[in-house]
Chains A and B, each alone.
Chain A
Amino acid sequence: MENYFEVEGLTVGYDKKPLIRDITFGIDKGSILTLIGPNGSGKSTILKTITGQLAPLGGRVAVEGDDVFFWTAKQFAQRFAVVLTERIKPELVTCAEIVAMGRYPYTDLFGRLTDEDKAAVANALRMVHAMDLANRDFSTLSDGQRQRILLARAICQDPEIIVLDEPTAYLDIRHKIELLDILRRMAREKQVTVIMSLHEIDLAMKISDNIICVKGESIKAFGTPQEIIDTCSIEELYEIKNGSYDTLFGSVELVKASGEPKIFIVAGGGYGIPFYRELQKRQIPFATGVLFSNDVDCQVARTLSDNVIVSPCFEPAGEEVYKKALDMMLKCSAVLDAGTPCGSFNEMNGRLLEAARDSGIPVLTSLDKGGIIEKEVQ
């Protein structure tokens, strides 16, 4: 057994019906593992099985070589803590009391808190920056605050492994970042192993040491974020048919407009992106060029248009590319100058605009409202 946390041939499912078979992976102590995959793929089922809430249908889960399915409920509670997706609504309970519930496996028959327990509660609250919420009624909190309190409860349980099922659901972007930052600190400073499911693939790539892609009968891929980017297509994992997902930057582009390009955008250096997105919203197909292959405009343009004129980077664009762009441009009924400056590498962009003016194609500098473009491209 080389890994701290090992899953071997685990089969999970409800009511003896296997949902996902033969899950096998291992991770180190103090690392962060994230499960990604479409809704209903069984991420929660895997997490529930790992924490012993759901009986496994085969295989084993071991912590330091110790099979967890033989543990008592108390042993489980002292090593695993969970943050669940279900919304709880206890009444007349303060946040400190909720957090103190985390001490459950350690307190006496009546749940009395020792000074040590109280210190643990205070520490957990401090860790999630929620000390000021300690004496507030839990039911008066916002979703973000609740999630922080529930995380504090889990921290207070002093676990070796913390399991979170979609902890960022309901949270706005600031609270997402804060929550993940807390998890990262826990993992690094306290050597707590974090296993969670996330919907935000971009965040998953950035926070995780390891990622599992869950889909269908088995897990699709397991590896570091870089390995996942290299081997696993997000579009395929989530069955995205029309839109696209840029794994490297974690940005989403919506469905591209189909058909012959109506407008040619002379762009580059990021000047084109706002126009591409605006045209996507208006569902007007466009062509664009000349873009170098390492240009951000190129990244986005490729997901939003089938007609992108690309030139290899780090050298001036050649005549051949210019020719291709010119042909494309002459088929369009309008040209848009995105405002990219012309330098020695992309001097043909200037020539394209000149050629457009010479051949009487209207050259725009902005996409005015009021449907001018639509009229222009009729």
Chain B
Amino acid sequence: MPKDIKKIDNSPDEITVGNTGRFLLITILLTAALLIGLIANVNIGSVNIDRGKVAVLVWQGVKYWTLNLCTRGSYAQELSDVINSSVESRILFSIRLPRMLLAVLLGGALSISGYLLQVFFRNPIAGPFELGISSGAKMVVGITLIFIAKRVGNLSPLALILASFLGSILITCIVLLFSQKVSNMAMLLVIGIMVGYVCSAVTDFCITFADDHDIVNLTNWSMGSFSGSSWEHVATASVICLLGLISACLLSKPIGAYALGENYAKSMGINVKLFRLLLILLSSVLSACVTAFAGPISFIGIAVPHITRTLMKTSKPIFIIPTVFLCGAAFCVFCDLLARTLLAPSELKIGTITAVFGAPVVIYMMVKRNQLKEV
């Protein structure tokens, strides 16, 4: 008799689809981590700015900026007064804040871009840098900067993103062509890395043609760095990244169903061709945005979605997508902090730091999947 009762007890009375509690907990933890990262980022640097002062300055900056925006420019004077009130405030407003915000936006965008690629390949070992897509974007942006910007003068951030997007799409198409020939994800990854090397070679080749005064910036950028961020970049990036995040959330329902395979997805009424096209376009736009502003950044796109899934213990897209963005933002902010403080005053490229933290995650993933024979 007890046996039967036990059997019935095993069955849950209610079906819970998705663990909302865990989602909230992880979201709160990640937000806290992001905030800590942000606070550390504004404080620490060649000039350490007192926390209280930062708070006051930021508050005033936000206040006058908002007022200025609402009244169409009548507080411009007050705003520039706040910004120029001291050396510290200038550092804060023109260097640290835009850099930090860009790290938040681009870190999140890059993670979402990687996540979308992983959805596309139905395999967690995929990322825009690792498949050569970021390097492709870098190549086209590099060529644009060196050969076109010279004639046209200053290029707008949007034009850079467009160039970057073209590069991303170009390499994505090449990788997709290869993916029809090789079914093994590890193999595709190797191909992606090779394609990435070719693109980097082309970029380096072009850089040697550039004028001397371009080279410093270009070299910095082509290795991946958040230095040189401006408010203009932040404004453009925030629009694109947030739109990308929202679009990804809107795709969460088919993303979940697509995990069951193309044929099941079709049978549930998904237009698979359109859906795959949207995934690729969205992923390319996001990684293009990152590359246009910060150059190619490795390992965030591949490692962050995995870390997030492991933390969340689910792959339910509507929960995963926002947390991937948060996690990517926090990860990127900390990496940037390390990149600019570890060997201050000289600066490491961001890829150095992301590789140290990201590569082991990817190696672990590959070894584990190889044991399960699921690469």
Contacts and interface: CB of A to CB of B under 8 A. Distances in A.
B124 interface: yes
Nearest to A139: B372
B268 A157 contact: yes
Contacts of B259: 88, 90-91, 93
A219 to B, nearest CB: 23
Contacts of A94: 17, 314
Contacts of A92: 309, 312-315
A309 interface: no
A105 B374 contact: no
Interface in A117-144: 118, 121-122, 125, 131-132, 134-135
Contacts of B249: 110
Contacts of B267: 51, 53, 76-77, 80-82, 84
Contacts of A51: 267
B252 A84 contact: no
A98 interface: yes
A104 B264 CA distance: 11
Nearest to A108: B253
B18 interface: yes
B266 A74 contact: no
A294 B202 CA distance: 85
Max count, chain A CB within 10 A of own CB: residue among B14, B263, B264 = B264
Most chain A C-beta atoms within 10 Å of own C-beta, residue among B250, B253, B312: B253
B229 to A, nearest CB: 34
A72 B269 CA distance: 8
Contacts of B266: 52-53, 73
Interface in B1-36: 7, 10-12, 14-18
Given A91-B124, A134-B11, A135-B16, A109 B250 contact: yes
Interface string B233-272: 0000000000000000110110011011101101111110
A117 B115 CA distance: 28
B314 to A, nearest CB: 5
A113 B259 CA distance: 18
Interface residues of B, number: 35
Nearest to A97: B17
Contacts of A105: 268-269
A76 B263 CA distance: 13
Contacts, number: 106
Instruction: Kindly name the residue among B7, B16, B259, B261 whose own CB sees the greatest number of chain A CB atoms within 10 A.
Output: B259
A77 B15 contact: no
A124 to B, nearest CB: 10
A101 B315 contact: no
A333 B17 CA distance: 72
A320 interface: no
B175 interface: no
A77 B263 CA distance: 12
Contact of A90 (B250, B260, B270): B260
A100 interface: yes
A121 B261 CA distance: 20
Nearest to B258: A90
Given A88-B260, A101-B260, A132-B10, A110 B268 contact: no
A82 B263 contact: yes
B316 interface: yes
A137 to B, nearest CB: 9
Contacts of B261: 84, 86, 88
B72 to A, nearest CB: 36
B318 interface: yes
15 contacts: A52-B266, A53-B266, A73-B271, A78-B269, A88-B261, A89-B374, A98-B260, A101-B256, A101-B268, A104-B270, A118-B14, A131-B12, A134-B11, A135-B12, A157-B268
Interface of B: 7, 10-12, 14-18, 124, 249-250, 252-253, 256-257, 259-261, 263-264, 266-271, 309, 312-316, 318, 374
Q: Which 4 A-B pairs have the closest CB atoms?
A: A77-B269, A111-B253, A131-B11, A104-B268
